[in-house]
A and B are shown apart, each in its own frame.
Chain A
Amino acid sequence: MTELRESLIRKRYAAERRFRIYGASALVLTAVFLALLLASIVWQAVPAFTEKSVILDVVIDPAEADPANPAAGNYDGMVKAALKQVLPDAKSRAERKALNGLLSSGAGDELRRLVIADPALIGQTVTLPVLLSADATLYLKGLQTRVAVSAGASPVTLAPAEGGEGFVLSGPGVSSKPGLSPGQIVMSGSAALRITAIESGTASAEALTPIDASLSALTPGNWKTLSFSAPEADRRTSDLQATWLEQLKDAGRIETGFAWRFFTAGDSREPELAGIRGALVGSLLTVAVALALALPLGVAAAIYLEQFAPKNRLTDLIEVNINNLAAVPSIIFGLLGLAVFLNFFGMPRSAPVVGGLVLALLVLPTIIIASRAALKAVPPSITEAALGVGASHQQAVFHHVLPLALPGIMTGTILGLARAFGETAPLLMIGMVAFIADVPHGFTDAATVLPVQVFLWSDLPELAFKNKTAAAIIVLLGVLFILNAAAIYLRRRFERRW
């Protein structure tokens, strides 16, 4: 008898211990996955928050800019000329194109802004940071290829190859450690050579930039090598462009800044110019419409259903269907928006007002359910007290029950809005998935929203957009975090328990 009892007790303890272990391991597993997810997003997003510029002395050519109409000046040309001033080696058309490719296609915009603000600058020389292209930026951030720079420790002699193009490098620097290997670039000042082959202590090399005939010996400390983890064919920055960027870096002309542009610019085909402002404003407009519609409708419906509606089959049916509506896949609401708002009512495509209407339908059941729960949670003794002093039912509801239910209603509404904010699928159906470079100014302007922007960027092949995608996700998560925090705060601050 006691043996049986003891074994039962032992089993009970073991079962409880096992259960605790299951619970704890589930928790740990979840936490690890969450941490991994967040870490990977943050890791990817960090580069998107910095941008690289090259500091140039730009001559604002009076021939290119008219003081009467400063906006029309050829600022791109001036900026390119300034770069050419620093890197004069580019001679051929292809080389000039490669050189200009280092600059962003919006490189002249900052200069244009400066000149428009102060036309007196025309004819002067301005030193300003000029935005680099996404590829150059990625190269400088080491995201395109890892770059190993090693200073030459031993002397190398340089001689033109016999009877042909190219050069031959010899001397202790070629073979003694770290030595040279094919694909590496040997740089000395503005001279750059690419090693093509190594044979018995000598290296063959081809010139990337013009080599001065007087350059015949590379002394230690006077030269360095660049080696890349990715071969030239696999990256968008060529060896020549890489040497130029290294030269600019050595000259201290590369500047790293916080990419405010990411928050102030609309979408762009150029990664370095693309920002989330358009999507953020689009999201705010859309959610504002959704809130303006769903909150009064939802709360009114909840008050009526909870406080005034007769309890009969019809209201039961409505109640069940509201609950069902909350479980309808969101894309269905998008189809409804497409069929009703766009096709039947002919409302504008891609507009926040339509997006807001669709999202309002989407969050309406959530708000109704949350509001009903909040209204139900107010004890009937409050209603009775109000009725007891001669308040009408409606007065009792609006003077006493509703104010007490308001924190719960607001919590539910904020959580509904958070859902609307993160919703993508229904907006795809009503055309909010277009590429829209302008920041929307009104409810009928074409716009997109933050989660759709994430979706759009994630689809693009450019490497830099991968970082932008992660950065946009961080902003989206940040907004959702703030909304949820607000909901929790409201609940903690105003919730009343009876």
Chain B
Amino acid sequence: MNAAVPYQTVVTPASPRIMAERPMKITARGVDVYYGDKHAINQLSIDIPDRAVSAFIGPSGCGKSTFLRAINRMNDTIPSCRVTGDIVIDGEDIYDSKLDVVQLRARVGMVFQKPNPFPKAIYENVAYGPRIHGMAKNKAELDVIVEQSLRKAGLWEEVKDRLAHPGTGLSGGQQQRLCIARAIAVNPEVILMDEPCSALDPIATAKIEELIDELRQNYCIVIVTHSMQQAARVSQLTAFFHLGTLVEYGDTDEMFTAPQEKRTQDYITGRFG
């Protein structure tokens, strides 16, 4: 499609069917990310819809995690990292100097590759976010938020009797669901997931995928994954990244059955990556 300019990918029109059903949540235009001298993302533009799961796939080092972390400005913590271009969430430029990055991260929650619960009680893990944002006026309200978040993360039944136990004592899959509950607790609009199942066994993975599918009803979810099966199972849209560029972006079903780009096809069929 844009073969003449291989590293100059324009916005790839995603499946009109999905785009028509849902409003756009995140819009990126001409985003470049540099780590020092390294050019990690090259002129990336993408539209991500609300209430859908968008999966980023691609070989290691292709920039998919970097772009994910650009969406909630987590890259700010890396001193050498520089981001140019526009990323707009609900019409608001998130790289605007007037924007409060802390508020942004409350709106755009994140779940990490390795489950990283705070070494505190399960309750405290979930309650921390609402507490620092003043979302609960009293303990009773906080209790409600904690319970609802844990229910949404499908963890409530398993931990309701041991909320005071440390979150680090849970199994890997439970820890990751606790991290999801922690992210949900601050009532975000977007949830970014950076390979959330790569440290989990297949059963825990299945549970998380089930959970992602439920959360899709209420949130805009962006997931980075190395597993193409996972992308095919949980996402409605898939973006294929290669060497810092967005190669192809579209309806997941179409992407896996009839990719338009040769590189996408080669990757999906396991010819490289």
Contacts and interface: CB of A to CB of B under 8 A. Distances in A.
Contacts of A393: 77
Given A382-B118, A399-B128, A404-B119, A388 B110 contact: yes
A389 interface: yes
Contacts of B114: 381
B102 A391 contact: yes
Contact of B116 (A381, A391, A395, A496): A381
Interface residues of A, dominant DSSP: helix
Contacts of A390: 102-103, 105-107, 129, 132-133, 186
A164 to B, nearest CB: 95
B118 A395 contact: no
A381 B77 contact: no
B106 A400 contact: no
Interface string A374-403: 000001011111111111110100011000
A76 to B, nearest CB: 67
A395 B112 contact: no
Nearest to A496: B119
Which of B103, B105, B182 is most buried by chain A, counting CB atoms within 10 A of its CB? B105
Contacts of B105: 387-390
A383 B183 CA distance: 14
A388 B74 contact: yes
A492 interface: no
A179 interface: no
Interface residues of A, number: 21
B77 A389 contact: no
B102 A388 contact: no
B128 A382 contact: no
Contacts of A389: 105-106, 109, 128-129, 132, 182-183, 185-186
A391 B103 CA distance: 9
Nearest to B104: A390
Contacts of B102: 390-392
Interface string B7-33: 000000000000000000000000000
A395 B117 CA distance: 16
A384 B128 CA distance: 14
B112 A391 contact: no
A5 interface: no
Given A389-B183, A391-B132, A400 B118 contact: yes
Nearest to B130: A389
A203 B139 CA distance: 101
B235 interface: no
Nearest to A404: B119
A389 B130 CA distance: 9
Nearest to A388: B110
A382 B102 CA distance: 16
A231 interface: no
Contact of B112 (A384, A399, A400, A404): A384
A311 interface: yes
A310 interface: yes
Given A311-B79, A387-B77, A382 B109 contact: no
Contacts of A391: 102, 128-129, 132
A390 B184 CA distance: 12
Contacts of B79: 310-311
B132 A395 contact: yes
B112 A388 contact: yes
Interface in B68-118: 72, 74, 77, 79, 102-103, 105-107, 109-112, 114, 116-118
Contact of A384 (B109, B116, B182, B185): B116
Nearest to A312: B79
Interface string A157-176: 00000000000000000000
B193 to A, nearest CB: 11
Contact of B118 (A310, A385, A392): A385
A211 B114 CA distance: 98
A389 B182 CA distance: 7
Contact of B74 (A384, A395, A496): A384
Given A388-B110, A389-B106, A389-B128, A382 B116 contact: yes
Which of A311, A387, A393, A404 is most buried by chain B, counting CB atoms within 10 A of its CB? A387
A395 B132 CA distance: 9
Nearest to B119: A496
Contacts of B179: 385
A392 B183 CA distance: 15
Which of A382, A384, A400 is most buried by chain B, counting CB atoms within 10 A of its CB? A384
Contacts of B112: 381, 384-385, 388
A393 B74 CA distance: 11
Contacts of B109: 388-389
A383 B110 contact: no
A441 to B, nearest CB: 44
B183 to A, nearest CB: 7
A450 B129 CA distance: 50
Interface string B172-195: 000000010011011000000000
Nearest to B129: A389
B108 to A, nearest CB: 9
A405 to B, nearest CB: 12
Nearest to A380: B77
Which of B132, B133, B179, B186 is most buried by chain A, counting CB atoms within 10 A of its CB? B132
Nearest to A379: B116
A395 B133 CA distance: 11
B117 to A, nearest CB: 7
A388 B112 CA distance: 9
Contacts of A311: 79
A379 to B, nearest CB: 8
A388 B183 contact: yes
Contacts of A496: 119
A381 B118 CA distance: 9
Nearest to A381: B116
Nearest to B113: A381
Contacts of B111: 388
Nearest to A389: B129
Contacts of B185: 389
Interface of B: 72, 74, 77, 79, 102-103, 105-107, 109-112, 114, 116-119, 128-129, 132-133, 179, 182-183, 185-186
Given A389-B109, A390-B129, 19 more contacts: A311-B79, A381-B114, A381-B116, A384-B77, A386-B118, A387-B105, A388-B105, A388-B110, A388-B111, A388-B183, A389-B182, A389-B185, A389-B186, A390-B103, A390-B107, A391-B132, A393-B77, A399-B128, A400-B118
30 contacts: A310-B79, A311-B79, A379-B116, A381-B112, A382-B118, A383-B77, A384-B74, A384-B116, A385-B116, A385-B117, A385-B179, A385-B182, A386-B128, A387-B77, A388-B109, A388-B111, A388-B112, A389-B105, A389-B128, A389-B185, A389-B186, A390-B106, A390-B107, A390-B133, A391-B102, A391-B132, A395-B132, A399-B128, A404-B119, A496-B119
